[in-house]
């Protein structure tokens, strides 16, 4: 299983501290309902959550995920739900060897805890977990406290696995408020739904421009096809998946190349651990900020060659994860490098 990647552990807490101080006492929570008397369901692509009360509302500031906030001017809690990562080999493994479920749960929890500690650092104080569930999806959760500046936050992070994809639900509030919000947090976790549509597969021609949301790339040769599903695109060569393209998170931090280079290396090392870089991160600036690097590493003990890229564009951050077995022909590596290096902003028609 790939190491899991958590990128928002501190972000929810940051947004809690924005806005004015709440005025007066909050009105009692009310159960939300739609016009037909049914529950209100908030959706973003393949993901949905049911707000547990009328105090929760959807927030559209981050287009890459489903965000719910409790309260308006000064939110008292934030929930973020997003897909992040793919490993179809795990799906095959669980289907063929269901007896490995306990080990799989442990791997999920270990990856989740590693990434919490990576994001929150030494300030992470674990309260409970790992807690597991099998229905409606395989999931593992940790509750912990973390500090951001002078503020202390309570966090409940859950990783879900379904259909070869990982999804994360991160919930935060000010420390000390969690007891009164426990029922609402539990209801949010229970309401999480992931509806992955059937992928659309299409054959590609050499030299064809391929677009994905705000970015485009050029098909480098024969035998490529594209499969798009759930906000992610996978490119296959002769039926073998070699390239993942997805919107990972909003672009954060400064606009200097060094920031993007460091962020790209951080993403790679969180996914693959220690790797051997084959050169520096190559950075270019156009309408977006682009960085790419080649490296050697291993996946499940198998040596791999990879060239990955990140592009920060109009407030979004796209990740291009391309690679093949280390002993693959040089011609294939050159094609993948050409494809990755062709990535740029999509031309407005």
Reply yes or no on whether the pLDDT at 245 is more than 80.
yes
More confident residue, 323 or 119: 323
Supply the pTM of this predicted model.
0.66
Q: Name the strand (E) or helix (H) holding 125.
A: strand 125-133
How many Cα atoms sit within 13 Å of 246 on the Cβ side? Answer: 22
Reply yes or no on whether the pLDDT at 229 is more than 70.
no
What tens digit of pLDDT does each residue of 8-23 get? 444 454 445 544 333 3
pLDDT at 131: 95
φ and ψ at 91, to 5 degrees?
A: -65, -45
Reply yes or no on whether the pLDDT at 170 is more than 70.
yes
Q: Which residues pair with 143 in a beta bridge?
A: 128, 156
Reply yes or no on whether the pLDDT at 158 is more than 60.
yes
Reply yes or no on whether the pLDDT at 60 is more than 80.
no
Domains of the chain: 11-194 (3.40.1000.10), 200-345 (3.40.1000.10)
Q: How far, in Å, CA of 113 to CA of 129, rounded? A: 9
Give yes or no for a contact between 248 and 240, defined as CB atoms under 8 angstroms apart. Answer: no
- In the chain, the percentage of residues whose pLDDT exceeds 70 is 77
- Would you place residue 36 in the very low, low, confident or very high pLDDT band (cuts 50, 70, 90)? very low
How many Cα atoms sit within 13 Å of 118 on the Cβ side? Answer: 18
Could you tell me which residues come within 8 angstroms of residue 2 by beta carbon, excluding any fewer than 6 positions away?
A: 85, 87, 271, 272, 299
Mean pLDDT of 148-169: 88
Reply yes or no on whether the pLDDT at 115 is more than 60.
yes
Give yes or no for a contact between 67 and 49, defined as CB atoms under 8 angstroms apart. Answer: no
pLDDT at 305: 96
Cis status, amide bond into 136, omega within 30 of 0: yes
Q: Exposed, middle or buried, 227 (CB in 10 Å: 0-12/13-18/19+)? A: middle
Reply yes or no on whether the pLDDT at 165 is more than 60.
yes
| Count of CB atoms situated within 10 Å of the CB of 154 | 24
């Amino acid at each position: 299983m790939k190491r899991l990647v958590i990128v928002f552990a501190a972000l929810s807490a940051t947004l809690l501290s924005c806005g004015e101080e709440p005025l007066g006492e909050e009105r009692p929570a009310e159960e939300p309902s739609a016009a037909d008397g049914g529950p209100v369901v908030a959706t973003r692509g393949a993901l949905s959550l049911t707000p547990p009360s009328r105090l929760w509302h959807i927030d559209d500031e981050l287009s890459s995920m489903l965000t719910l906030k409790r309260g308006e001017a000064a939110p008292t809690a934030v929930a973020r739900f997003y897909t992040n990562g793919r490993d179809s080999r795990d799906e095959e493994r669980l289907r063929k060897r269901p007896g490995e479920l306990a080990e799989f749960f442990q791997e999920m929890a270990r990856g989740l805890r590693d990434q919490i500690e990576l994001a929150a650092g030494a300030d992470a104080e674990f309260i409970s977990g790992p807690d597991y569930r099998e229905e409606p999806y395989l999931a593992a959760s940790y509750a912990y406290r973390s500090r951001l500046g002078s503020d202390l936050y309570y966090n409940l992070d859950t990783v879900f696995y379904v259909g070869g994809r990982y999804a994360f639900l991160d919930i935060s509030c000010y420390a000390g408020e969690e007891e009164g919000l426990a029922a609402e947090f539990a209801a949010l976790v229970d309401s999480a739904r992931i509806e992955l549509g059937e992928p659309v597969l299409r054959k590609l021609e050499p030299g064809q421009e391929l677009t994905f949301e705000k970015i485009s790339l050029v098909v480098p040769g024969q035998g490529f096809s594209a499969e798009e599903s759930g906000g992610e695109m996978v490119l296959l060569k002769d039926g073998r998946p070699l390239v993942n393209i997805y919107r990972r998170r909003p672009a954060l931090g400064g606009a200097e190349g060094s920031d993007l280079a460091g962020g790209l290396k951080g993403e790679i090392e969180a996914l693959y651990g220690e790797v051997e870089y084959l050169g520096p991160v190559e950075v270019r600036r156009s309408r977006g900020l682009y960085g790419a690097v080649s490296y050697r590493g291993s996946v499940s003990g198998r040596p791999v060659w990879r060239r990955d890229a990140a592009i920060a564009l109009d407030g979004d951050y796209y990740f291009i994860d391309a690679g093949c077995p280390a002993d693959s022909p040089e011609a294939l590596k050159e094609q993948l490098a050409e494809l990755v290096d062709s990535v740029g902003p999509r031309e407005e028609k």
